[in-house]
């Protein structure tokens, strides 16, 4: 039995700015020791384009005015990585993890996040993998999950966006993660193509929680 817990906080559907404030406050409380355990925030966002520290202007294909007219937010954030999309039907997981309890290495942490998602997808019956030299989770060259993280005092925030049953239409406005000609896909699409039962969001959520808990050797608990 794991000695430490992973406290899960499901935010439901929440605007990006509000969820970002929750992330930062949760990370602050974890850094200060006010929160005694690691936390996994789960959320779905209305459509938003987020720009990581490595984003190149050419990777955003639409103007801020055009995106705004479509009701799509545009936000600069401090996470690593390039540009990505959040939209309804995508499950976003923000792990607030104190790496001093695990391994103080962000490259190790990225691989652990990938492993958590790969394990979650295995739990719903879908095989996935890493792609050499590219962060994220993939299936047969198609990208299922995008990852971008940040840490301060070895406490992480930001995280992973897993396409579950979103229609991917918003991705037409960017070069996803700065990767030319990448094909984005969803859990629903890949399961249907493989002749597998398509899991609902609740099943994927539960699998993601279990995937993170198993990978980081933590017991699942509820946010107090």
Task: Write out the catalytic residue numbers.
Answer: 177
Alpha-carbon separation of residue 188 from 125, 131, 137, 197, 210 (angstroms): 11, 21, 15, 9, 19
Report the relative pairing of strands 219-222 and 5-13 from DSSP bridges.
parallel
Q: What is the SS3 string spanning 107-138?
A: HHHHHHHHHHHHHHHHHCCCCCEEECCEEEEE
Dist. CA 11–CA 14, nearest whole Å: 7
DSSP state of 179: -
Nearest to 177 by CA among 55, 31, 28: 55
Nearest to 204 by CA among 145, 124, 88: 124
């Amino acid at each position: 039995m794991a000695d430490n817990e992973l406290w899960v906080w499901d935010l439901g559907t929440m605007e990006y700015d509000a969820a970002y404030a929750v992330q930062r406050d949760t990370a602050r409380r974890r850094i200060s020791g006010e929160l005694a355990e690691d936390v996994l925030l789960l959320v779905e966002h209305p459509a938003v384009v987020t720009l990581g520290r490595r984003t190149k202007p050419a990777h955003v294909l639409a103007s801020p005015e055009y995106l705004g007219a479509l009701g799509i937010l545009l936000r600069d954030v401090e996470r690593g990585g390039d540009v990505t999309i959040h939209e309804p039907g995508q499950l976003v997981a923000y792990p607030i993890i104190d790496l001093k309890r695990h391994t103080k290495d962000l490259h190790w942490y990225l691989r652990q996040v990938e492993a958590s998602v790969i394990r979650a997808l295995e739990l719903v019956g879908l095989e996935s993998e890493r792609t050499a030299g590219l962060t994220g989770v993939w299936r047969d060259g198609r990208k299922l999950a995008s990852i971008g993280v940040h840490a301060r005092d070895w406490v992480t925030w930001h995280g992973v966006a897993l396409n579950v049953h979103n229609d991917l239409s918003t991705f037409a406005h960017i070069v996803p993660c700065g990767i030319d000609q990448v094909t984005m896909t969803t859990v629903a699409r890949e399961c249907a193509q493989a002749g597998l039962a398509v899991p609902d969001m609740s099943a994927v959520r539960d699998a993601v929680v279990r995937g993170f808990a198993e990978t980081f050797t933590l017991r699942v608990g509820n946010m107090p």
